[in-house]
Amino acid sequence: MEDKLETDMYGQGAIIEAFEKKMASYLRKEKTVFFPSGTMAQQIALRIWCDQKNLKKVAYHPLSHLEIHEEDGLKKLHLIEPVLLADEKRVITLEDVTSMNEDVACLLLELPQREIGGQLPDYDTLEAISTYCRAKGIKLHLDGARLLEVLPFYNKTAAEISNLFDSVYVSVYKGIGGIAGAILAGDQVFTEESKKWKRRHGGDLISLYPYVISAAYYFNLRVNKMEQYYNDAKELASFFNQCDTVETKPIVPVSNMFHVHLDWSKEKVAPILIAIMEDTGIGITNHIKEISAKSCYFEVSVGDLYAKIPKETLRNVFDKLDVQLRKIGE
Amino acid sequence: MEDKLETDMYGQGAIIEAFEKKMASYLRKEKTVFFPSGTMAQQIALRIWCDQKNLKKVAYHPLSHLEIHEEDGLKKLHLIEPVLLADEKRVITLEDVTSMNEDVACLLLELPQREIGGQLPDYDTLEAISTYCRAKGIKLHLDGARLLEVLPFYNKTAAEISNLFDSVYVSVYKGIGGIAGAILAGDQVFTEESKKWKRRHGGDLISLYPYVISAAYYFNLRVNKMEQYYNDAKELASFFNQCDTVETKPIVPVSNMFHVHLDWSKEKVAPILIAIMEDTGIGITNHIKEISAKSCYFEVSVGDLYAKIPKETLRNVFDKLDVQLRKIGE
């Protein structure tokens, strides 16, 4: 058995524990637990806070992952009722929180708010919300699927952001680029309880090492590249914004992601993007979402590949895009 | 992108769909769905049957995995109440089922019943229970974590056993030896519903390919080796039964697994097994479970390795075990 790594078994073992410890130190939380998915980790975090307060109500954004991408797991498995804050087009403000009419056990903030292009509240707002929630006995949970990706904008460490929250979820396959999986962080009582719920959910797999090993590898590789991705995203967004009838949301990205909105139907935009890809070898997106008969959008996330595209090629891509979009209008 | 396999994404893609299709054909069910764990797959199966009948009650053995290994996920997440059939020492009989006082949506049978050494009802009983449940409108679910492993005893195909049940779970990491994961099989309405619940549970991972690829690989490698494991288990059990104060449960195994019961405390047995391992290089178990101050047991599952041990070495191991156990008694 020499020269063999000790595998993980039901959440125990050197590989998984080393990564959990490393992430606890990175987020400066007492403990972290590796989960197969963020969906599972976050429902469980909210459940624990609700149970602790004996109140099955939480607050989050109307476009939270929990509200629109999880087949209502939170409601159907945990019987937790959400209070939706803010409207669908903007992030949650301090006033949204302080003017809430209902008592909730927990407030979930998603940084960045993915479904609106990855927008962020400013840091002062974060701090003020955190202070308010602590005073009111409302637990604050961070949907930090893309936490690392927003650190350059805030110019803060992960620990400094994490410190504002009682529990923190971070995805290991978005900016980090692992295969799948999530980290849930908090104090030891919270994480121990989360392990019980992980088992109840069927997430305490006999082995998670394929996810843990890839997460640990890519974390090291990419943890210091988020500033590059952020700067690249700002550059890339400016290219889009120079094209006719195109506007990114946000106009200046605050992370490695943004949305590209076009004043044309999906049917008119798709053939243009396909032609550009065939011409230049650069795929802009493979997933255009229809908004209306006259508008559509797609999401862009910047990673390692962007920096490898020659500027000449990029210029060519956006020249073509601009020309082709103008042609629709003629 | 040439020469690349299409990865799976949220349960779709060539790799995962090919294996699900193969398993559907093997189990002769309309569809199957790959799950990260059996815990998740089975809770979901029972939930679907309960919802269909609008009755949150199921029947299973008191030592079912759901009852003793899942932190009460079925009760706490799905609010399903179990009716416990049979006593802890034997498998469920037809009479246990027909004399049930309560109405249930579903009956779960575990083949083999792992916690009592992997015991099995005979095939006629299975058939009779299936016929009875169909007549009474009770759905029959198979906990077939070790389904492949019991086929040689029944001398039936997986499809023949599966045909008696409305839904079937099979583990891909026990006899098959994948990394982790499970298959849930049933008709298309059932499996489509199970995918929604998989998402609710947080089990619809962006990528499951590490589990799917290993499951598919080892399935091919081991699907036809179950007869060998079964025969080896019977031989190995007979070696144990020749030792003083040792009795296997069952005395003659009906799958690749059995339990070894000893009339001595865990504290007395452990050093003997360690000494034998140091002497012969053969590890018998690393997990002895205490029953009382005067008895203990451990589980044995036979796979590929057993056949590689020279008979001479085996004889030596069991000679030593017999001698050492006798010495305790002196």
Q: Residue A131 maps to which CATH number? A: 3.40.640.10
Name the residue range of residue B119's domain.
14-222
Q: Answer yes or no: is pLDDT of A64 > 50.
A: yes
* Pair (A127, A266) in one structural domain: no
- Identify whether residues B262 and B148 lie together within a single domain: no
Instruction: Flag whether B1 is in a domain.
Output: no
Interface of B with A in 183-242 (CB under 8 A): 196-197, 199-211
> Do both B101 and B58 map to the same domain?
yes
Question: Is there a domain that residue B318 lies in?
Answer: yes
Q: Say yes or no for a CB contact (<8 Å) between A180 and B72.
A: no
B199:A39 CB<8 A: yes
Of B173, B201, B206, the CB nearest to A202: B201
Tell me the pLDDT band of B3, cut-offs 50, 70 and 90: low
Asked if residue A198 lies in contact with residue A192, where contact means CB atoms within 8 angstroms, the answer is: no
Residue B322 lies in a domain: yes
Whole-angstrom Cα Rg for chain B: 21
Residue finishing a domain among A181, A200, A221: A221
Same structural domain, A233 and A203:
no
Task: Let me know if residue A5 belongs to a domain.
Answer: no
The number of folded domains in chain B is: 2
Q: In A, which residues are within 8 Å of B35 by CB distance?
A: 202
Nearest-Cα distance to chain B for A44, in Å, is 10
- Same domain flag for A155 and A274: no
Residues B46 and B137 in one domain: yes
In a domain, A8, yes or no: no
pLDDT at B62 over 70: yes
Q: Is the pLDDT of residue A1 over 50?
A: no
Residues B204 and B263 in one domain: no
Per-residue pLDDT tens over the stretch B209-268? 999 999 999 999 999 999 999 999 999 999 999 999 999 999 999 999 999 999 999 999
What mean pLDDT, rounded, does chain B reach?
Answer: 96
pLDDT digits (tens, 9 = 90+) for A270-279: 999 999 999 9
The residue of chain B with its CA nearest to that of A196 is: B71
Tell me the torsion sign for CA atoms B210, A170, A195, A78.
negative
Per-residue pLDDT tens digits for A214-234: 999 999 999 999 999 999 999
Residue A95 structure tokens: 């006033």
**CATH number, domain with residue A283:** 3.90.1150.10
Q: How far is CA A135 from CA A131, A183, B81, B94, in A?
A: 6, 27, 40, 60
Tell me if chain B has a CB within 8 Å of the CB of A38.
yes
Answer yes or no: do A140 and A30 share one domain: yes
- Do A212 and A258 share a structural domain? no
Nearest to B92 by CA among B57, B63, B51, B54: B63
Whether residue B4 is predicted with pLDDT greater than 80 in this model: the reply is: no
Cα distance between residue B159 and residue B76, in whole Å: 33
User: B290 and B149: one domain?
Assistant: no
Q: Which residue of B has its CA nearest to A40?
A: B202
Residue of B nearest to A72 (CA): B200
Count of A-B CB contacts under 8 Å: 104
> Can you give the pLDDT at residue A7?
79
User: Over chain A, what is the mean pLDDT?
Assistant: 96
- Residue B34 in contact with partner chain A when CB distance is under 8 A: no
Domain assignment of residue B131, yes or no? yes
Query: Is A75 in the same domain as A217?
Result: yes
pLDDT digits (tens, 9 = 90+) for A238-263: 999 999 999 999 999 999 999 999 99
- Once rounded to an integer, what is the mean pLDDT over residues A302-310? 96
At B1 the pLDDT is 38
- Whether residue A186 is found in the same domain as residue A246: no
